[in-house]
């Protein structure tokens, strides 16, 4: 708040205080006093003077409860108190106040009346902040009903509600239900985009939520497509160096990694690093983690290339050259703690080559190390781990047979 804003805020507060003094002394009408106290409380809340706001609003509530009872004005004051508690982080009390406000309003209006939308929003927010996702979802659906009654389905507020409910369903691990709402929201956005003044950020949010849900589900191709659509919008509306753009690149990089699309993952992470460095600096934890991710992927790429060359040499019968290439791939891992599946694969390839070279004991030693890594990474129930256990046991059996 600059100097002029501070002066105007003080002036407004003084005006309310003078008005309140006049009303208290000269008028025998507590209803007017309660109105002034409520307006003053809301103004103080908007200025960030929350304790003062709460004091004024509680005074107004006491008057309105006594003089009006369950009245629309009483509901208004309850709602304002709920907003103050929410701003203070006291979401349990905020929930209580919003419920009181809603209980009054619902006796006066149907559940889907547009006047209830703001109260539904406040209650949903308070419930979500407390982790009461099921209860928040139920209230958000009532809010959606009021929005639909007011606007019909083809309206931006409906898509915003679909997004909000989908986020709650996501937190409840109801991914199919969340995706159903998001798909419908995106469909509506595609229609609304043709209209002048449509806020493209609503579509961006829906696509982002859709992409994350698909990624968690393991539908990585569809998730990648959605993240790329998000990026197109963000590049147009936010620019290349915006933090939200960096976040999308990170999500996209993760999706590419899980699809073993290493080159694209490196490219996505590198763009995220560029943005985060400018935003946070080189020493920030997030930047260091991203840089490390790129380094690991570069390592994986180089190892994969050597591994493929080694397999080609093995297929041609050049076992010494094949082992040399596999050893070069393995050496890239030395000095790192990156014991991953690819390292196990390289060790298995070395073991297989040594079997073909007649070096059975050496092959068993290397096979055992590969198996140890697989068990550590994936456990004994993993299909590839089971396969290598059989291979390893077969090698041990051959060794015993050779010695007998």
Task: Please say whether the beta carbons of 364 and 393 come within 8 A.
Answer: no
Name which of 43, 44, 143, 127 is nearest 93 in CA terms. Answer: 127
User: Using CA atoms, how far apart are residues 401 and 368, in angstroms rounded to an integer?
Assistant: 19
Structure confidence by residue, pLDDT tens digits, 73-85: 999 999 999 999 9
Report helix, strand or coil for 278: helix
User: Using CA atoms, how far apart are residues 57 and 369, in angstroms rounded to an integer?
Assistant: 70
Mean pLDDT score, 239-252: 96
CA angle 90–129–245, rounded 5-degree value: 125
User: Using CA atoms, how far apart are residues 314 and 203, in angstroms rounded to an integer?
Assistant: 52
Q: How many helices (H) and strands (E) does the chain have?
A: 18, 0
pLDDT of 99: 97
From residue 304, give the alpha-carbon distance in Å to each of 128, 252, 336: 45, 21, 17
Query: Residue 148, Cβ neighbours under 10 Å: how many?
Result: 15
- Considering the chain, what is the average pLDDT of its residues? 90
User: Using CA atoms, how far apart are residues 74 and 144, in angstroms rounded to an integer?
Assistant: 24
pLDDT of 365: 95
pLDDT of 113: 85
Confidence of residue 31 (pLDDT cuts 50, 70, 90): confident
User: Using CA atoms, how far apart are residues 234 and 20, in angstroms rounded to an integer?
Assistant: 49
Given a cut of 50, whether residue 28 has pLDDT beyond it is no
CA 29 remoteness from chain centre? 51
Between 121-135, 289-303, 315-329, the lowest mean confidence (pLDDT) is in 289-303
* Bigger pLDDT: 392 vs 337: 392
Kindly list the domain boundaries of the chain, sorted by start residue. Answer: 3-214, 339-403
Q: Could you say which DSSP state residue 364 is in?
A: H
The DSSP secondary structure of 72-91, one letter per residue, reads HHHHHHHHHHHHHHHHHT-H
Mean pLDDT score, 395-402: 89
Residue 336 structure tokens:
């790192």
Mean pLDDT score, 183-212: 94
Structure confidence by residue, pLDDT tens digits, 256-305: 999 989 999 999 999 999 999 999 999 999 999 999 999 989 988 898 89
pLDDT of 196: 85
The fold adopted by the segment(s) 3-214 is 1.25.40
Given a cut of 70, whether residue 156 has pLDDT beyond it is yes
User: Using CA atoms, how far apart are residues 220 and 224, in angstroms rounded to an integer?
Assistant: 6
Name which of 58, 66, 56, 55 is nearest 30 in CA terms. Answer: 66
Confidence of residue 403 (pLDDT cuts 50, 70, 90): confident
pTM: 0.77
Between 99-103, 184-188, 312-316, 342-346, the lowest mean confidence (pLDDT) is in 342-346
Q: Could you say which DSSP state residue 114 is in?
A: G
Task: Please say whether the beta carbons of 145 and 112 come within 8 A.
Answer: yes
User: Using CA atoms, how far apart are residues 93 and 130, in angstroms rounded to an integer?
Assistant: 11
Mean pLDDT score, 104-128: 91
User: Using CA atoms, how far apart are residues 117 and 119, in angstroms rounded to an integer?
Assistant: 5
With tokens 């009903």, the residue in question is 145
Domain 339-403: CATH architecture, name and number where available? Alpha Horseshoe (1.25)
Mean pLDDT score, 198-217: 95
User: Using CA atoms, how far apart are residues 74 and 80, in angstroms rounded to an integer?
Assistant: 10
User: Using CA atoms, how far apart are residues 332 and 343, in angstroms rounded to an integer?
Assistant: 10
Percent of the chain at pLDDT > 90 equals 78
pLDDT of 15: 54
Query: Residue 118, Cβ neighbours under 10 Å: how many?
Result: 16
Those residues whose C-beta lies under 8 Å from the C-beta of residue 134, and which sit 6 or more positions away, are: 172
pLDDT of 357: 94
């Amino acid at each position: 708040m600059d100097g002029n804003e501070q002066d105007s805020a003080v002036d407004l507060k003084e005006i309310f205080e003078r008005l309140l003094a006049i009303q208290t002394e000269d008028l025998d009408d507590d209803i007017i006093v309660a109105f002034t106290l409520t307006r003053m409380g809301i103004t103080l809340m908007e200025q960030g003077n929350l304790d003062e706001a709460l004091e004024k609003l509680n005074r107004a509530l006491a008057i309105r409860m006594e003089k009006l009872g369950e009245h629309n004005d009483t509901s208004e004051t309850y709602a304002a108190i709920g907003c103050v508690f929410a701003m203070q982080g006291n979401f349990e009390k905020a929930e209580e106040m919003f419920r009181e406000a809603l209980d009054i309003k619902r006796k006066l209006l149907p559940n889907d009346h547009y006047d209830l939308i703001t109260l539904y929003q406040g209650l949903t927010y308070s419930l979500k902040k407390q982790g009461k996702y099921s209860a928040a979802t139920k209230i958000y659906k009532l809010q959606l009903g009021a929005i639909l009654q007011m606007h019909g389905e083809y309206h931006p507020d409906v898509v915003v509600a679909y997004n909000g409910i989908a986020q709650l369903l996501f937190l409840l691990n109801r991914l199919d239900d969340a995706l159903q709402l998001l798909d419908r929201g995106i469909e509506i956005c595609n229609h609304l985009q043709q209209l002048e003044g449509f806020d493209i950020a609503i579509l961006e949010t829906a696509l982002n939520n859709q992409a994350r849900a698909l990624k968690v589900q393991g539908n990585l191709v569809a998730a990648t497509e959605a993240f790329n659509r998000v990026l197109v919008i963000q590049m147009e509306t936010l620019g290349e160096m915006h933090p939200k753009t960096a976040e999308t690149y990170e999500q996209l990089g993760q999706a590419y990694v899980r699809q073993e699309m290493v080159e694209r993952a490196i490219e996505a992470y590198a763009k995220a690093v560029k943005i985060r460095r400018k935003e946070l600096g080189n020493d920030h934890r997030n930047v260091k983690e991203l840089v490390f991710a790129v380094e690991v992927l570069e390592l994986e790429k180089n190892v994969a290339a050597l591994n493929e060359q080694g397999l080609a040499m093995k297929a041609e019968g050049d076992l010494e050259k094949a082992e040399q290439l596999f050893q070069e791939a393995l050496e890239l891992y030395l000095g790192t703690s990156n014991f991953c599946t690819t390292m196990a694969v390289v060790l298995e390839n070395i073991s297989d080559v040594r079997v073909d070279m007649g070096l059975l004991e050496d092959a068993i030693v290397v096979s055992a190390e590969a198996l140890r890594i697989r068990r550590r990474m994936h456990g004994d129930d993993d299909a590839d781990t089971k396969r290598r256990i059989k291979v390893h046991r077969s090698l041990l059996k051959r060794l015993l047979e050779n010695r007998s």
